[in-house]
C-alpha cells in the first residue's frame, strides 16, 4: 500500500502561519500582564477613593469617580508607617545576609565536596523547608524568651533563617553543581587554596544563583507575618505587615483606603528588587531546578 505523502512546510507556509502565532502569543501575554498588574491597579484606585464611595454600588468599582489623598495622610500621620517600614527593612536585610552566608557555605559543601551522607543531607535540607512555620514558632518562642530577645530585631533576624536557609541551600547546591569542576581544579593547581578557589572562581560564576537566593530570602522576610506578630509586642517594633493590620483594623472597622495604601507602598521595595535582578533570578532558579 502506497504511503500518503507528507505535506512539506515551505517558507511561504511558515510565513503565512507566523502572523497568527504571533497574534496568539501577544494575546496570551496581554492577558498575563493584565492579570499580574490588576492587584496593583486595584490597590491604587482604592487607596485614593473617598470613604463615601467605598460601598456605593451605583459607581463603577474599577474607575475612581472621586479621588482623595486623605487615606495616605492618615497612614503617614496617624500611624507609625515609616517606623514599620524601617523595622521591616532592617529585619529583611539582616536575615537575608545571615541566610546567604549560611546557604553559600552549606550549598558549596553539599554541591562541590564529596563525603559520606552528602546526598541524604541535601535531601533532608530540602525537606526541612517543607516544615510549616506554624510548627516552629512555638519552640522558637521559648528560645527567644530564654535569651531575652523578645521585641528586638534579633528575635526576627535569628528566627527567619529557620525557613530561609533550607531552600536557599538546596537552590545553591544545584547551582554549584552546574559549574564545571575543572575551573576550580585549575585554580588549585595554580596554587590557590580551597577558600581562594571558592571566593575567586566559584562564587563569581554562581552570582545568578546567589542573587536568586537573596531575592527569595528578602521577599519572604519582607512579607512574613506570624513570627513578627508573636515576637514583636509593642507598636514601634512591629513590621509593616503586622503594623498595618493591627492599627488599620479596629474591631469590625476596616480603613480600606489606608490599608490599600500601605499594601501598595509596602510592595514597592520587592518590586524594585525584582525589576533590577529579574534576569539573574530566572537564571538562578532555572539552573537550581535542573541541577538540584
Please name the residues in contact with 104: beta carbons below 8 A apart, sequence gap of 6 or more.
Answer: 172, 203, 210
Q: What pLDDT, on a 0 to 100 scale, did the predictor assign at position 16?
A: 53
Q: Which fold has domain 71-291?
A: MetI-like fold (1.10.3720)
Cross-strand partners of 250? 253
**H/E element, 249:** strand 249-250
| pLDDT given at position 280 | 61
pLDDT value for 56 = 80
CB 203 within 8 A of CB 186: no
C-alpha cell at 278: 529579574
* Per-residue model confidence (pLDDT) at position 281: 60
pLDDT at position 97: 96
Domain locations in the chain?
71-291
> What does R_g of the chain's alpha carbons equal in angstroms?
25
- Please tell me the distance from the alpha carbon of residue 186 to that of residue 112, in angstroms, as a whole number: 15
Task: Tell me the pLDDT of the chain (292 aa) as tens digits.
Answer: 444 444 445 545 555 556 778 888 888 999 998 998 898 999 999 999 998 888 787 888 888 888 899 999 999 999 999 999 999 999 999 999 999 999 999 989 888 887 787 778 877 777 877 888 778 888 888 899 899 998 999 999 999 999 899 889 988 888 888 888 888 888 888 888 888 888 888 888 888 889 888 988 999 999 999 999 999 989 899 999 999 998 998 888 889 999 999 999 998 888 877 777 666 666 655 554 444 4
Residue 8 DSSP one-character state = P
- pTM equals 0.81
Q: What's the DSSP call for residue 57?
A: T
| Predicted pLDDT at 57 | 76
Please give the Cα distance from 220 to 63 (Å, whole number): 32
Residues 6+ apart with CB under 8 A from 131: 163
Amino acid at each position: 500500500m502506497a504511503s500518503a505523502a507528507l505535506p512539506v512546510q515551505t517558507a511561504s507556509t511558515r510565513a503565512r502561519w507566523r502572523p497568527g502565532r504571533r497574534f496568539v502569543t501577544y494575546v496570551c501575554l496581554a492577558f498575563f500582564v493584565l492579570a499580574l498588574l490588576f492587584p496593583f491597579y486595584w490597590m491604587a484606585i482604592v487607596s485614593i477613593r473617598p470613604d463615601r464611595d467605598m460601598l456605593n454600588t451605583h459607581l463603577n468599582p474599577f474607575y475612581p469617580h472621586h479621588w482623595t489623598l486623605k487615606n495616605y495622610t492618615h497612614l503617614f500621620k496617624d500611624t507609625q508607617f515609616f517606623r514599620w517600614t524601617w523595622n521591616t527593612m532592617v529585619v529583611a536585610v539582616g536575615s537575608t545576609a545571615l541566610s546567604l552566608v549560611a546557604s553559600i557555605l552549606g550549598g558549596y559543601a553539599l554541591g562541590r565536596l564529596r563525603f559520606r551522607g552528602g546526598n541524604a543531607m541535601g535531601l533532608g535540607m530540602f525537606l526541612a523547608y517543607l516544615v510549616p512555620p506554624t510548627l516552629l514558632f512555638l519552640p522558637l518562642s521559648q528560645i527567644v524568651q530564654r535569651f531575652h530577645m523578645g521585641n528586638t530585631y534579633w528575635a526576627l533576624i535569628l528566627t527567619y533563617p529557620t525557613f530561609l536557609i533550607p531552600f536557599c541551600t538546596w537552590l545553591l547546591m544545584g547551582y554549584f553543581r552546574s559549574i564545571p569542576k575543572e575551573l576550580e581544579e585549575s585554580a588549585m593547581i595554580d596554587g590557590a587554596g580551597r577558600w581562594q578557589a571558592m571566593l575567586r572562581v566559584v562564587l563569581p560564576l554562581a552570582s545568578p544563583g546567589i542573587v536568586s537566593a537573596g531575592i527569595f530570602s528578602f521577599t519572604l522576610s519582607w512579607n512574613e507575618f506570624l513570627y513578627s506578630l508573636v515576637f514583636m509586642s509593642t507598636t514601634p517594633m512591629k513590621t509593616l505587615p503586622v503594623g498595618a493590620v493591627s492599627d488599620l483594623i479596629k474591631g469590625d472597622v476596616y480603613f480600606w483606603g489606608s490599608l490599600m495604601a500601605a499594601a501598595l507602598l509596602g510592595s514597592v521595595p520587592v518590586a524594585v528588587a525584582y525589576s533590577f535582578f529579574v534576569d539573574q533570578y530566572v537564571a538562578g532558579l532555572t539552573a537550581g531546578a535542573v541541577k538540584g
